[in-house]
Amino acid sequence: MINYSVFMMANPQNRDAADKAYAKPQITELVSFTKFVQHIADHNGVFSRGTVKGVIADMCECLVEQLLEGKKVQLGELGNFWISLSSEGAESTDKFTSDKIKVVNIVFTPGPDFENLVGKAEFNLVSSRAAQAATLKAEKAGATTVDLAEAKKKNNAADKGSGSTTGSDTGGGSNTGSDNTGGGSGSGSTVDPGDSGNGDGTVE
């Protein structure tokens, strides 16, 4: 079950367009690596928690090795990993050196099972965390009314100030890197944690 809240937001691709209502996911829990490993082990009695943890750790290490050799790695249903480069510009190609390369980005594109989960998802509309916080504050102050629209506006302003993205006209969601091996500053998959309360997707 995916909890979501609804916000009025601008379309970043068309600032002149009127604000529209978009859905933002509300993260319910930050699952640690240890807990995720235990979850996998519980689903398959053949492999212990230690075995699962070791396999995932080795996979990550080997994945980095392959990427640093300039390879594109396909991990079945999970998706594809490869690299892009972020660099400073030079006046001409003959003046460009590897010293200009500042970041090696890991790019990820999801496989078929991860590309769009809407067909498998169930949705549950809930109050935004901003609305919940405003309501609680009003209750503590003994107020009988609360301006939920104003609370949401402040939350959206905070999101913009922290650099979070709201996506395109589909509202929120994730932006994954395309299968483009050219230069530039492609940064792979960026996920909007949505109405999570904290920028890292954790729950207050």
| Residue 151 belongs to a domain | yes
Residue 15 is predicted with a pLDDT of 82
Answer yes or no: is 202 within a domain. Answer: no
What's residue 154's pLDDT?
Answer: 65
52 in a domain, yes or no?
no
Residue 31 placed within a domain = no
- Look at residue 48 and tell me if it is in a domain: no
Is residue 62 one of the residues assigned to a domain? no
What are the contacts of 6-14 at 24+ separation with CB within 8 A? Answer: 6/125, 6/128, 7/128, 7/152, 7/155, 7/156, 7/195, 8/152, 8/156, 9/156, 9/166, 9/171, 10/166, 11/168, 11/169, 12/165, 12/166, 12/167, 12/168, 13/168, 13/169, 14/169
Into how many domains does the chain fold?
A: 1
Q: Which domain holds residue 177?
A: 2-26+72-191
Is residue 165 in a domain? yes
Asked if the model's pLDDT at residue 194 lies above 80, the reply is no
- The model's pTM: 0.60
Q: Give 38-85 pLDDT, tens digit per residue.
A: 999 888 778 888 999 999 999 999 999 999 999 999 999 999 999 999
38 assigned to some structural domain: no
